[in-house]
């Protein structure tokens, strides 16, 4: 299956993509994670992306398109879930062209719907385990007792000013993609408010509907 998980920052894309990838044996491609790794390793891509990411701006399309194209070619464009990409109309066009060239059509775009008032609260209380990459929320999905505080990372772009900037970027550059995708037959909206398992069940139900009508 070839999937896009779409939604605003803090919609739970990372958490749900990870669960889906495990259930369905898909490659989970998170451009956010790939970029953060590049920043940590101080690669040329990382050095270019760092300034944008810290203040909550989108990284230029050509940088992100390149890393996605490379990652997809490694798996021969089969069996993936894209999390956090595409995020602009330019990226979406690039991806669709790339998939068409490789005869690898998308199966579905799943849009996780979360109202804005939930988003800021989710992001500001989000923490990531530096070692495993596991995502927690201090109130809704707390880290296990005994996990040392020093392993929990509060992302630089999960600070209030960067969160506000990310939401502006989302509304101006990413939201217009909804119209772009909505013209395709396999665009499904899933309510992203609720517990992890609840949302995960809704995503699986939505995919099952798509599979039976495929
Ligand atoms: P979130 O979805 O919570 O905003 P991500 O971890 O997906 O977080 O992305 C973090 C940051 O990485 C973004 O704010 C942006 O700077 C950069 N980034 C990730 N994916 C893309 C993309 N497809 N295009 C441009 N920038 C991106």
Q: How far is the CA of 168 from the centre of ligand 1 (A)?
A: 13
The pLDDT value given to residue 32: 95
87 pocket-lining for ligand 1 (C-beta < 6 Å) = yes
Computed from CA positions of residues 92, 40, 161, 148, in that sequence, does the dihedral angle turn out positive or negative?
A: positive
214 touches 107 (CB < 8 A): yes
Q: Closest residue (by CA) to atom 18 of ligand 1?
A: 32
- Which phi and psi angles does 114 have, rounded to 5°? -140, 125
Read off the pLDDT band of 179 (50, 70, 90). confident
- Average model confidence (pLDDT) across the chain: 93
**Whole-prediction pTM value?**
0.90
- Which phi and psi angles does 152 have, rounded to 5°? -90, 125
Encoded tokens for 107: 């199966």
The Cα 123–Cα 167 span in angstroms is 11
pLDDT in tens, 119-145: 988 899 999 999 998 989 998 889 999
Q: What is the mean pLDDT of residues 192-209?
A: 93
Q: Which of 168, 171, 173 is nearest to 61 (CA)?
A: 173
Read off the pLDDT band of 184 (50, 70, 90). low
Q: Ligand 1: which of 46, 47, 59 to mutate, judged by most atoms within 8 Å of the beta carbon?
A: 59
pLDDT in tens, 19-65: 999 999 999 999 999 999 999 999 999 999 999 999 999 999 999 99
Q: Which residues are catalytically annotated?
A: 13, 87, 126, 155, 166
170 pocket-lining for ligand 1 (C-beta < 6 Å) = no
122 pocket-lining for ligand 1 (C-beta < 6 Å) = no
The Cα 96–Cα 118 span in angstroms is 31
């Amino acid at each position: 299956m070839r999937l896009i998980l779409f939604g605003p920052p803090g919609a739970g894309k990372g958490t749900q993509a990870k669960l889906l990838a495990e259930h369905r044996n898909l490659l989970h491609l998170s451009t956010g994670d790939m970029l953060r790794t590049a920043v940590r390793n101080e690669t040329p891509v990382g050095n270019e992306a760092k300034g944008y990411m810290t203040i909550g701006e989108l990284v230029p399309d050509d940088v992100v398109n390149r890393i996605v194209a490379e990652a997809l070619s490694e798996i021969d464009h089969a069996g993936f879930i894209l999390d956090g990409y595409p995020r602009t109309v330019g990226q979406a066009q690039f991806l669709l062209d790339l998939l068409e060239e490789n005869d690898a059509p998308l199966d579905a775009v799943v849009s996780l719907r979360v109202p804005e008032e939930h988003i800021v609260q989710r992001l500001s209380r989000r923490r990531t385990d530096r070692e495993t990459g596991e995502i927690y929320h201090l109130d809704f999905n707390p880290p296990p007792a005994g996990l040392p505080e020093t392993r929990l990372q509060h992302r630089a772009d999960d600070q209030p000013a960067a969160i506000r900037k990310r939401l502006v970027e989302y509304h101006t550059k990413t939201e217009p993609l909804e119209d772009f995708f909505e013209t395709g037959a396999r665009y499904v909206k899933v309510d992203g408010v609720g517990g992890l398992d609840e949302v995960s069940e809704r995503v699986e139900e939505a995919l099952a509907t798509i599979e039976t009508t495929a």
